A and B are shown apart, each in its own frame.
Chain A
């Protein structure tokens, strides 16, 4: 039963999903022979579910959790609380309480937005490591003179564990509970510098990037297809002019041009960036499509169509385009990878909008806040890196598998 075979239009419409499904099944069964291509295909489907469906069920974690903070360079940020108040976790919990902050380690920045809801007691970190300032604050906490203590250093645990004074040691270990963030079931990928769940950020971080890359890829492919076929089909002056223009744009290093333009324009919306990337990205593909059309134009079936007096539109869309659609598709995928490459590069440099918390923005903050260089921040640094890397690899594997499927010369043993 084929959709085209039925005469009843209503039935035909009902059958469209069926025929699409069957086509997809045929495609997948052909792809099965190519294991890397299959991996890429499954990967892309997984990415689609991951970035477009999962965010509906998993909310973006934007709540700072004081007891789950992974700290800046070389330190764990920790919330120490009295044993009796062990449920204190967020700034909301701390409202109305007295919170001690060891000034020099970075606490004020974090606590500043909440300064009017809680009382802040400041302690000094003296020049000696684990000096008396830290000790005083711990004693105050143990005696419940303050309700909680924000400490941005891993020396706290050392101070308690290796305490020489047995009286203090007992006081600390009996009364103080210190947060200890780690990877594990509640937070699959751990937490970031504000105690927010990284896994939810990864889930939400792909949508804008992939959409922008798709916009860039679609625009550059459409321009390339349009200009390439016009150049090849009309020939003459228009052809030479378009080819000269293409060669000119190809000579301009694309990424520096983007960097300069992004530096001049300062986009406020990532999607505009996709448009710009698309507008600059077509020349290489345009040249390839032009030569494809040139060679297809000489084929017998096109000659036949032309001698029948069929219009240029007909020849382009019915005779030539179907014969290079697979080629266009493959290059479309590659242009998505380029658009992805360029926009994330711009984001990492800080020249693209950072209002959406994408994988690229995670990297940007990782670089600017130094968490990339923090031995404790492995998950914070590697999650976006691997998310980007595997997405690109899946695209490339899938595109290469398509190349082999549609180009028998690559498949057959030579």
Chain B
């Protein structure tokens, strides 16, 4: 029986083999998470579509109302004008609009900005997004590494004075909202102690410099990003410390650590390749969750530091009620979160052989 089923794919014609391969591919873990990601993005796209068109007080009705009261033209004319700026066919039904919008999305066409005509939303996003990715990425990277080191220290010296004070510190770091940390940096370091000039650090780089691979430009970019990065580091560090501490304490109880100690391996080797590596693995999944959160909260941070990233762009389009930009940025942010989750799901097996062998999580 067992040999028969093992041999079955070999004996069956190629079509059956193909179907079999397809079925395994579709039911595999990879396919499932990819499909899940696509469905999520589709659902969020639908949600934004409905939010902009169907919600009470939705922007299309508001804009029509605005044009009607301002210019006293007929409803149909106002509707046509709004349709032109939102880039949809005024005669089409809601369903047709929905499908044409989805089609545009597939071609990465997010429509044109309403308030500044002629600008493609996708171009604006491409202009602002890299700065946010840079700042958020640097911030998370630094705090992740620091948090792993501090968390392991806490676990090794557990219940010591050091552990207790670091744990208190982590409560402070996570408890205080990140924009409050940002404000504290500005008020205390910038204004009261006058360590730097807050006004000079606005924007993403000194506009008198030409962008390029020269030292002055790179230095200016780092200088302008330093405060947002510092804020991201401070606000996320506490979480990594606590997670790494509890993860390390779990690993320290594992048999293979005892065995390694019994074998007389050097402490340094045990700490790095036995404890550190295994304890930090679960944190990688949390890193992707943090990416979503930090990307989202970046709206306030970038506004406070006047750092011209995607959050600043989102806020600007909200204040001028530029709905196409709003919906575009929101979609891009969601896609960022979905893709970082997908990335974690797909790469976790590579990092942790135990997951790879058992085949599922």
**Separation of A264 and B55 alpha carbons in the complex (Å):** 9
Contact A36 B337 (CB under 8 A): no
Closest to B311 in A: A256
Kindly state whether residue A236 has any CB partner on chain B within 8 Å. Answer: no
Known: A253-B334, A414-B253. A389 touches B180 (CB 8 A): yes
| Contact status B337-A253, CB under 8 Å | yes
What residue in chain A is nearest B187 (Cβ atoms)? A381
B216 beta carbon closer than 8 Å to chain A: no
Cβ proximity bits A251-291 to B, threshold 8 Å, 1 near / 0 not: 11111110111011100000000000000000000000000
Asked whether B171 lies within 8 Å of A393 as measured between CB atoms, the reply is: yes
Complex Cα gap A278–B44 (Å): 20
Over the window 281-303 of chain A, the binary record of Cβ atoms lying under 8 Å from chain B Cβ atoms (1 yes, 0 no) is: 00000000000000000000000
Q: Which residues of A lie under 8 Å from residue B180 when comparing CB positions?
A: 385, 388-389, 392
CB nearest to B58 among chain A residues: A264
Question: A344 near B: Cβ within 8 Å?
Answer: yes
Q: Is the interface of B mostly helix, strand, loop or mixed?
A: helix
Cβ of A349 and Cβ of B303 under 8 Å apart? Answer: yes
Q: How many A residues have CB within 8 A of the partner chain? A: 47
Asked if A259 and B318 sit within 8 Å, CB to CB, the answer is yes
Contact present for A264 and B59 (CB under 8 Å) = yes
User: Could you tell me if A253 and B40 are in contact, using CB atoms closer than 8 angstroms?
Assistant: no
Is B158 on the interface with A (CB-CB < 8 A)?
A: yes
Q: A253 with B303: in contact, given A341-B177, A348-B179, A414-B252 (CB under 8 Å)? A: no
CA distance A385 to B158 in the complex (A): 33
Closest to A257 in B: B330
- Give the A-B contact count at a CB cut-off of 8 A: 140
List B contacts of A36 (CB < 8 A): 167-168, 171
Asked if B292 CB lies within 8 Å of chain A CBs, one says yes
> Taking the complex as formed, is A53 at the interface, i.e. its CB lies under 8 A from any CB of chain B?
no
Asked if B315 lies at the interface with its beta carbon under 8 angstroms from chain A, I say yes
A36-B171, A259-B314, A373-B198 known; A389+B176 contact, CB < 8 A: yes
Q: Tell me how far the C-beta of A209 lies from the nearest C-beta in chain B, rounded to whole angstroms.
A: 12
Question: Any chain B CB within 8 A of the CB of A21?
Answer: no
Q: Is there contact, CB below 8 Å, between A395 and B175?
A: yes
Q: Does A363 contact B (CB under 8 A)?
A: yes
From B44, B158, B183, A251 is in contact (CB under 8 Å) with: B44
Q: Which residues of chain A have C-beta atoms less than 8 A from B31's C-beta?
A: none
Interface check B333, CB cutoff 8 A: yes
A contact residues around B176 at 8 Å (CB): 388-389, 392-393
Q: A253-B337, A254-B296, A363-B183 are in contact. Are A373 and B315 (CB under 8 A)?
A: no
Return A154 CB to nearest CB of chain B, in Å: 16
Q: How far is the CB of A32 from chain B (nearest CB, A)?
A: 15
- The interface residues of chain A lying within 8 Å CB-to-CB of B292 are 251, 253
Q: How far is the CB of B176 from chain A (nearest CB, A)?
A: 4
Residue in B39, B172, B321 whose Cβ sees the most chain A Cβ within 10 Å: B172
B residues contacting A by CB (< 8 A) are 36, 39-40, 43-44, 47, 51, 55, 57-59, 158-159, 167-168, 171-172, 174-177, 179-180, 183-184, 186-188, 191-192, 194, 198-199, 246, 249, 252-253, 292-293, 295-297, 299-300, 303-304, 311, 314-315, 318-319, 321, 326, 329-330, 333-334, 336-338, 341
Some 16 contacts from A to B, beta carbons below 8 A apart, are A36-B168, A251-B334, A253-B296, A253-B333, A253-B336, A255-B297, A263-B321, A264-B59, A345-B179, A348-B179, A351-B318, A375-B194, A388-B180, A395-B175, A396-B171, A410-B246
